[in-house]
Amino acid sequence: MPFLARVLTTMALWSLMTTTGAYAADGSPTITVGTQEVGLTAGYLLPHRLTKDHTTKQQGPAFMPSWMMTVTDPVGDRWYRGQVSLGAEMVYIQFREPFLTHGLGFTPKIKYTFVALDRIRPYAEFAGGPFWTDLAGKIPEESSRFNFVLTAGFGVSYFLTDQTALNVGYRFHHISNGGTQYPNLGLNASLPFGGFSFYF
């Protein structure tokens, strides 16, 4: 995956170069209600064949630019203390196996960020929405170009400054047409990812 490694390295270097060169004052970054987050995430899709009828080994790079807004102040007073963000994400996947095809989707998204660890902030996220792919008719699991993509996962953000964070994590991806055409076995995959976020 040399191409993906170059992309992630470039994103990390860009994030470091755009920081102020020094940490903000001691303490946690302050994310208030109305704070917006713009991010770019990239990863590599790895297939899961969950039944004997799943035979396709689809895999390839994925790119996910996103926008979110924090909608709550921190809630709770223990390890689970955190904030809720809502937003949307574009999903582009270049399937390189079993042959070169593409997928493009748009997903509303919700994220819960744990804030108890100051600059290191774990989070859980869920997203789902329409997804178009030209895999249809070329593999036994999918019969239509119009599908839906559902993702659920977790990650960790490390705040370089109060406005910039690096992110790493894992997502589970499910793609299917929701039973609008058959066959509809769906495609399942893991997506380890890295990226960065900018807050304003």
What local confidence, expressed as pLDDT, does residue 95 receive?
87
The CATH number of 1-8+39-56+75-89+103-200 is which of 2.60.40, 2.40.160, 1.10.10, 1.10.260? 2.40.160
SS3 8: helix
pLDDT of 17 strictly over 60: no
What does the DSSP assignment read for 130-153?
A: EEEETTTTTSTT---SEEEEEEEE
The domain segmentation of the chain, as residue ranges, is 1-8+39-56+75-89+103-200
- Mapped onto helix, strand or coil, the DSSP state of residue 169 is strand
Higher pLDDT, 186 or 169: 169
Is residue 7's pLDDT more than 60? no
Mean pLDDT of the chain: 85
Return the structure tokens found at 5: 């490694």
Residue 188 pLDDT more than 80? Answer: yes
186, 174 in Cβ contact below 8 A?
yes
Burial of 112 (C-beta count, 10 Å sphere; 0-12/13-18/19+): middle
Residue 25: pLDDT band by 50, 70, 90 thresholds?
Answer: very low
Q: HSE on the CB side for 198, CA within 13 Å?
A: 12
Tally of CB atoms within 10 A around 79 = 10
What CA–CA distance (Å, rounded) separates 181 from 177? 7
